[in-house]
């Protein structure tokens, strides 16, 4: 049985879930997140499980549920990400003087540590020898070499750290399974809650709908090979430098 697991019920998480379900290449699609899912597909078994990636207990419980539904995962996508959250004092910093311990730690938790502790909890299901693809949604601004504007300290740092853990997991898993692919993906600028406050300067042709971006990312995922493992690609399948 081939199983896909998609984490995150936000703009891109929901759109990716839709695309993966409609592709009909998995017998079972598991949707994990804090929000609600409204997916229906008579041809595919769809299961949902609540998970908050910032809670060890929630991650352990959710991973336990996933383990009860399948012996192996063949596609794992994580979409957790936060850029702005006024309720927790999170806003993209323009200057170093705006950096705070609380906001930095919260952004790191959701964007980097959470997804990889989630993958750790799922490890027994991904360390097999069949083809498996693990994709975490990253961002171009996580590239150190591409950073010419500065700012957004916490978000940039969290995505750069996420990219490092992506490379590490690719190396570690690749030793066990030559058919494993672990990548970061940049979805473009997408019209979701995360980007809403920052869309002013973006021309309409460069602002994707979640469905558009998900379709591009699905094409990228389908074309990946083990030689791509450890790298970050954008929605056009162009490699983003570390
Ligand atoms: N939109 C863009 O232009 C853009 C550009 C570059 C990169 N990205 C990246 O794409 C990813 C998806 O973002 P989006 O645009 O779809 O934004 P969004 O609609 O705001 O979704 C945010 C996602 O983060 C998840 N999340 C937040 N806190 C979480 C927590 N504590 N535990 C588990 N999940 C949590 C949410 O899932 P639940 O609520 O279900 O938990 C949701 O799926 C992010 O990693 C983002 O950095 C987006």
Contact 88, 102 (CB under 8 A): yes
Domain boundaries, the chain: 3-240
Q: State whether CATH 3.40.50.720 applies to domain 3-240.
A: yes
Please work out whether the CB of residue 31 comes within 6 Å of at least one atom of ligand 1.
no
For residue 197, what pLDDT is reported?
92
Q: Which residues of the chain have pLDDT under 70?
A: none
The residue written with tokens 């998970």 in the block is 51
Please work out whether the CB of residue 92 comes within 6 Å of at least one atom of ligand 1.
no
Give 8 Cα–ligand 1 centroid separation in angstroms.
6
The protein residue with its alpha carbon nearest to ligand 1, atom 34, reads: 80
For residue 219, what pLDDT is reported?
98
Q: What's the mean pLDDT when you consider all of the chain?
A: 96
| Parallel, antiparallel or unpaired: strands 232-234 and 239-240 | antiparallel
Please work out whether the CB of residue 82 comes within 6 Å of at least one atom of ligand 1.
yes
For residue 136, what pLDDT is reported?
98
Strand partners, 207: 189
- Summarize pLDDT for 80-99 with one digit per residue, the tens: 999 999 999 999 999 999 99
Say how many Å lie between the first and final Cα of the chain, rounded. 35
For residue 41, what pLDDT is reported?
83
DSSP the chain: --EEEEE--SHHHHHHHHHHHHHT--SEEEEEESS------TTSEEEEEE--TT-HHHHHHHHHHHHHH-S--SEEEE----S-BGGGTB---SSGGG--HHHHHHHHIIIIIHHHHHHHHTHHHH-SSS-EEEEEE--GGG-STT--S---HHHHHHHHHHHHHHHHHHHHHHHH-TTEEEEEEE--EE-STTTGGG-TT--GGGEE-HHHHHHHHHHHHHH--GGGTT-EEETTSPEEP-
Phi and psi torsions of 163, nearest 5°: -65, -35
């Amino acid at each position: 049985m081939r199983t896909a697991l998609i984490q995150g019920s936000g703009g891109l998480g929901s759109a990716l879930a839709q695309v993966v379900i409609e592709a009909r290449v998995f017998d079972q699609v598991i949707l994990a997140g804090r929000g609600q899912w409204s997916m229906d597909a008579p041809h595919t078994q769809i299961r949902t499980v609540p998970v908050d990636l910032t809670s060890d207990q929630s991650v352990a419980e959710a991973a336990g549920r996933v383990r009860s539904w399948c012996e192996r995962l063949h596609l794992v996508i994580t979409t957790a990400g936060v850029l702005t959250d006024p309720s927790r004092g999170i806003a993209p910093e323009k200057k170093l003087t705006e950096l705070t311990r609380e906001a930095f730690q919260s952004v790191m938790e959701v964007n980097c540590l959470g997804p990889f502790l989630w993958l750790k909890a799922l490890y027994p299901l991904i360390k097999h020898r069949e083809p498996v693809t693990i994709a975490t949604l990253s961002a171009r601004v996580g590239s150190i070499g591409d950073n010419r504007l500065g700012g957004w300290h916490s978000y940039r740092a969290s995505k750069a750290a996420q990219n490092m853990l992506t490379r590490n997991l690719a190396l570690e898993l690749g030793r066990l399974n030559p058919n494993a692919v672990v990548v970061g993906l940049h979805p473009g600028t997408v019209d979701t809650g995360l980007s809403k406050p920052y869309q002013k300067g973006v021309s309409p042709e460069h602002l994707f709908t979640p469905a558009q971006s998900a379709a591009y990312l699905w094409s990228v995922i389908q074309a990946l090979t083990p030689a791509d493992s450890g790298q970050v690609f954008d929605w056009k399948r162009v490699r983003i430098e570390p």
